[in-house]
Structure 1
Amino acid sequence: MASIGKTIASKLHLWLGLGSGLVVFIVALTGSLLVFEEELEPIIYAKFHTVTPPASAQRLPLDQLVTTATTQFPGKKVSRIEIEPQPDRTVIIGLQQSKKAKYILSVALNPYTGKIVDTRQEEDAFYSVVLRLHRYLCLGDTGKIITGISCSAFLIIMLSGLILWWPNRQNRKQRFTIKWGASFKRLNWDLHAIFGFYVLPFVFLIASTGLIWSYKWVNNLLFYAFDGKPQAKREAPVNPTAKAHKNTDLYEKIYAETNRLLPYTGLITLTLPEKDSLSITASKKNYEAAISNIVDFLYFDNQTGDLVKKRLYDDETRGFKARRVVFPIHTGSLLGWPTKLIALFVALIAASLPVTGFLIWWGKRKKTKKTVAPRKHASTRVPNPQIGVQNA
């Protein structure tokens, strides 16, 4: 029975690996690039994100910055405003041709002088491209299906790989130690099987959490497990004031009130609704929280700037809190640099597994061709070498 189980595991490991290997390689490699996105983005686009704060000047009101951006790019509407807490960071204003337009033009302004320092189309930014490759291979819904299937296959590949790796009394030491001075074939097998074993728990966790973005039913399972019902739709509340003349200090008032109600350090994002009948959403990411991705939400009247509603993290359901933790688990940002370094190492190893696995298969394929001789007699039997990493 054990032999049959390993044979089945070998076939699954081989053919699922060959079928999904390229996608797994791309997803894992782009995932490694995304681990330190928050740290590298301001370095890659330093002009876009950073300014030199003057010794005594104060920040200009947000409404003045918004006016500068909309005047420079007429016909475009404000969709979001991002304000980092650091004094050397720009204020970024997202503009769209219409509220439902897909692409955003981001305008970075010096908050002390009010001047536009840089602009960019968000879909062309480096990390935006990397993220699209990671999630759906830059192929839209079709790519999302492909990455979802490949991610699911990868879970089976890891479990079947564990079966093939499982040691016995004779090869127990070999299964835990890489023989660095061995031949290329042996070293490649060690890198595939032994590294694969050591990172398996982390890769399995990252891949399984990735399914939450691939399949809505997996996301709902999380909410069923913690709340007993699927995820509720989140939307800004109806705006209490009818459309009238907006306050001239609308955005500055919302920004100041958000900082007053949520006094911790963090990124503030003002999101303007697609419909004027809805309130403005102000979210603040808590940089002082024990784990990352803790965000509170406030809703403000889009005409007066008065507070309409609070949606604080502490008051959220267990399902919503669990969903908030999924992202930092998936990216490795849960506990900051220590977990990010682990995630980077794991992602790079995961990206190497399709490569080393392909080399194992290719080497066995070439060996099979060399050892199979032409059949001279009807009674001659050609051996059928077993394809799988367990025989290396």
Structure 2
Amino acid sequence: MKHLAIKLHLWLGLASGLVVFIVALTGSMLAFRDELEPLTNARFFTVSSPTNGPRRPLDLLVATATAQFPGKPVSKVIVEDQPDRTVIVELKQSKKAKDVLAVALDPYTGRVVATRVEESAFFPTVLRLHRYLCLGETGKVITGISCSLFLVIMLTGLVLWWPNRKNRAQRFRIKWNASFKRLNWDLHAVVGFYVLPFIFLIASTGLIWSYKWVNNLLFLALDGKPQTKREAPANASAPGEAATGRLTQVLAQTDKQLPHPGRITLTFPETDSLSLTVAKVDETAAVSNIVDFLYFDLRTGLPTGQRLYDEETRGFKARRLIFPVHTGSMFGWPTKLIALLVALLTATLPLSGAYMWWQKRNRKSRPKPIRIRPQQIAPV
């Protein structure tokens, strides 16, 4: 069994090592994305004007964005609860879902302060590299297979690491004053053992995005049926012009019905027959990614339905926890810090493993010196 584990660990590691390295490294970069992005792109996310004055109506902000970039329909509006943050209006540039122009507006002056194409922005690019290697559906297949192989690699690695009475102490600590060969082995085996519980959980939850059947398995286990498609209800009003101030009204009703602090996202439907979807994050919840959904008539701004987190099924609640478990954001910065360290250490494993393979292969390729014993020398 150990011989089989060696073969599987080696060849599966070589097959998926590069992808694992990229996914782990980009995952570490995304751990503190919410905290870093407003700092690295402050002009886009924060406002420099005084934050104690009245805010402009949301309808006016959206109208300013669409007037400055005509012919581009609104797909999403993001309103943060911090007073120094911009309001972001996302506009569709084409029929492609990812072809989005994000417009940042100062909510106090109503002016456009910055724009960016989401597909070429830094952190969205890192996210696409993390999920799909920036290769679309093909990349999704590659990362899904590599993630599955990595689970097998971790299990076989545990078999190879498993100590006996002679090497028990060696398996739990790194010998820093050893030769580079021994040090590299320790960094691979010992570090791999300590990060294994965390990275196994992260990789397992990553399969939810890679394979639909894994996602459905979660719902089958908790709800007894696969995940049902969620769609906004139909508008209650007849087709016609939109009422003045409807978005400002929607924002006020959302804050009234859901008074807790949190980011509000207004998502516009693909067709005019469906309602506007409003999602609000509950930042007072014990764990992150707790979101309530409200629906409003796209033309009148009147309520058409709701989907509150407390009323959701067990499967949906568990599905909501997958993201904070995978990213380490469940309990804020302490778990994010753990996820960052685990991801960085995981990124070193393919490197140290590849070095061991290269060293062993290079040693085998060298010709063995011919040793002549004294008795083999013929007398003169």
| TM-score, normalization by structure 2 | 0.96
8 Å CA contact retained: 2:208, 2:214 = yes
- Residues 133-282 of structure 1: matches in 2 within 5 Å? 133-282=129-278
Q: Which residue is 1:283 aligned to?
A: 279
Deviations 1:180-229 (A, max 9, x none): 01110000000000000001000100001000100000000000111010
What is the SS of the residue equivalent to 1:29? helix
Superposed displacement of residue 57, structure 1 = 1.8
Gaps of 5+ in 2: 371-380
What is the SS of the residue equivalent to 2:315? helix
Superposed displacement of residue 369, structure 1 = 2.1
Superposed displacement of residue 53, structure 1 = 4.2
- Residues 298-317 of structure 1: matches in 2 within 5 Å? 298-317=294-313
Deviations 1:85-119 (A, max 9, x none): 00000000001135665411000000000000000
Q: Which residue is 1:97 aligned to?
A: 93
What is the one-letter code of the residue matched to 1:215? Y
Superposed displacement of residue 287, structure 1 = 1.1
Corresponding residue to 1:331 among 310, 327, 333: 327
Corresponding residue to 1:14 among 2, 10, 24: 10
Structure 1 runs (4+) deviating above 3 angstroms are 97-102, 371-374
What is the SS of the residue equivalent to 2:116? strand
Give me the whole-angstrom Cα distance separating, in 1, the residues matched to 2:102 and 2:114: 9
Give me the whole-angstrom Cα distance separating, in 2, the residues matched to 1:97 and 1:146: 29
8 Å CA contact retained: 1:100, 1:274 = no
Classify 1:55/1:261 alpha carbon distance in 2 versus 1 (closer, same or farther; 3 Å): closer
What is the SS of the residue equivalent to 1:321? helix
Classify 1:55/1:270 alpha carbon distance in 2 versus 1 (closer, same or farther; 3 Å): closer
What is the one-letter code of the residue matched to 1:168? N
Corresponding residue to 2:42 among 31, 39, 46: 46
What is the SS of the residue equivalent to 1:79? strand
8 Å CA contact retained: 1:167, 1:175 = yes
What is the SS of the residue equivalent to 1:246? coil
Classify 1:333/1:129 alpha carbon distance in 2 versus 1 (closer, same or farther; 3 Å): same
Deviations 1:30-66 (A, max 9, x none): 0000100100110111000001342642000000111
What is the one-letter code of the residue matched to 2:114? D
Superposed displacement of residue 156, structure 1 = 0.3
Superposed displacement of residue 244, structure 1 = 1.7
8 Å CA contact retained: 1:79, 1:271 = yes
RMSD, matched Cα:
1.5
Superposed displacement of residue 371, structure 1 = 5.8
What is the one-letter code of the residue matched to 1:317? T
What is the SS of the residue equivalent to 2:366? helix
Q: Which residue is 1:108 aligned to?
A: 104
Superposed displacement of residue 155, structure 1 = 0.3
Is 1:292 aligned with 2:283?
Answer: no
Give me the whole-angstrom Cα distance separating, in 2, the residues matched to 1:315 and 1:226: 15
Q: Which residue is 1:85 aligned to?
A: 81
Give me the whole-angstrom Cα distance separating, in 2, the residues matched to 1:102 and 1:46: 23
Q: Which residue is 1:366 aligned to?
A: 362
Gaps of 5+ in 1: 375-392
Give me the whole-angstrom Cα distance separating, in 1, the residues matched to 2:39 and 2:133: 25
8 Å CA contact retained: 2:51, 2:108 = no
Classify 1:253/1:28 alpha carbon distance in 2 versus 1 (closer, same or farther; 3 Å): same
Superposed displacement of residue 366, structure 1 = 1.6
Give me the whole-angstrom Cα distance separating, in 2, the residues matched to 1:262 and 1:132: 32
What is the SS of the residue equivalent to 1:188? helix
Superposed displacement of residue 285, structure 1 = 0.7
Classify 1:362/1:285 alpha carbon distance in 2 versus 1 (closer, same or farther; 3 Å): same
Classify 1:247/1:200 alpha carbon distance in 2 versus 1 (closer, same or farther; 3 Å): same
Deviations 1:329-372 (A, max 9, x none): 00000111111111001001110000000011111112222364
Corresponding residue to 2:120 among 121, 124, 128: 124
8 Å CA contact retained: 2:185, 2:352 = yes
8 Å CA contact retained: 2:207, 2:214 = yes
| TM-score, normalization by structure 1 | 0.93
8 Å CA contact retained: 1:99, 1:274 = no
Give me the whole-angstrom Cα distance separating, in 1, the residues matched to 2:98 and 2:158: 43
Deviations 1:163-195 (A, max 9, x none): 000000100000001000111000000000000
What is the one-letter code of the residue matched to 1:211? L
Superposed displacement of residue 245, structure 1 = 2.3
% of aligned pairs identical?
Answer: 66
Q: Which residue is 1:33 aligned to?
A: 29
Classify 1:271/1:189 alpha carbon distance in 2 versus 1 (closer, same or farther; 3 Å): same
What is the one-letter code of the residue matched to 1:326? I
Give me the whole-angstrom Cα distance separating, in 1, the residues matched to 2:94 and 2:133: 27
